[in-house]
Structure 1
């Protein structure tokens, strides 16, 4: 569903001071299902902020709360300094939540023109957003003939109308081919600075490529929140890879020390190496022991694991894809 609401005219007196979004202990229950469990987060201006989690983690429910489509049961929510659904903030928000909805027998251009005119925007704004999502060549075709990916891009174009301060995108690359996915990622990164972007995804590669900060949700609760780089550095920080010659001697030296006795030979004949768990201050001693034993060291490095590894460690869920 694409959110576009016509709002009352008048001067916009709301300041764009941080935070753009702030949630404190937000909870939402549907019947016996607690979709959101005490979520607290803050999103500052200019960030590309990712909601990451498997299907059913609560990502879409949170987004619906933010734009006023769902009321939280408990906690506080502030969007651009005001409660969700405030007309003075809605005019500054562009959102694509769940599947984009358009009139199928009208062209993409006409659908966007209807939305733009309802908000008092000129047709030139339609031209701008069609070009931004690379749909200007198909703008005059009926939406009924659009592919899933084209409809998704049209939904994002609708969210971009009016040059919003806050852009909320639910699974923005859904249905896109690899080229379209790369183009959408580039567009989202280009928006950073001029707008704050909140996007949800179960595709780990998408979050890793475009987001500055990530909140990981599992069963409606926050299990981690940090910058992408911090999450990556935190995961696997104890795993060390050693490449050396002769490898048999290197392995013997490592396993002779109680601190490194769990070292494991890995790789194949073309790339033999040893893996072991090691605290941050243990690398110099390891290198010294190898050199004193006459081992020629080719490489000693920390293993840099992917966001996928972090996600699995935090949630135990192996259903999320890595994306392209």
Structure 2
């Protein structure tokens, strides 16, 4: 059945609060594109993979070096035990070809620039209150205008550990194990606009810990399969500091598969950074299978319906029915 834009909008406005009232959603919940992560978990029983292929050009004025970098980002996410909890493994593996023209020297650095295992737990979800999220069926404007209450975000806490393998050239002298803690928030500014913010203290236990910040705004088009985002990320540490801007687009291929593309750039010239990323996200939705299994269970004792249960009536019940009929 085909729906007009107005009809699709009505369905969107009416159903969105329901979809946002729980961790699990009918369509994939991906942290791509960008580096800002959602406050929400993927949902109990959902296994999800997010992969990106990137190319980056770096020029360092201080060292007079040029670099070409190829690599892959990855994230494996799983809804663990209950809806609010997620375990995830995320990181980046890259190969950096670096050249020093003044000295005629070339080299290659290859290893993980990021490799982290962690847990994310949703501690507050404003959309769990159904009264707060009832749409106004009589006013399109009331459902679309900015409201201050929409700034109240969902909040999750993150705790994880960074791992280094071998003699990592990107973190010389660092221990093989360090830690990360953070807070993630997510607000729905309007039915089509979502604001995500992250703050984290990373590489705890090393000589070069760093603060990381991210602020991301995502806007969905009238065709909700398409969305765009703009993101700012700040990194502050003794080893490396920069502000990075990203922008890109995501396309929902089907409820379990998303493709994305984005570009980004840094502000510093030591090094300067320009990069492009192509990514994909896919989930195995065992949560839906669990819900189907519950719905399809027959009722009755031990999940079964006794044969002729409705036909068995006591003499007293039959007599009462007869008396009722006579009356």
TM-score band w.r.t. shorter chain: under 0.3
**TM-score, normalised relative to structure 1:** 0.22
Higher share of residues assigned strand: 2
Higher share of residues assigned helix: 1
**TM-score, normalised relative to structure 2:** 0.22
Larger Rg: 2
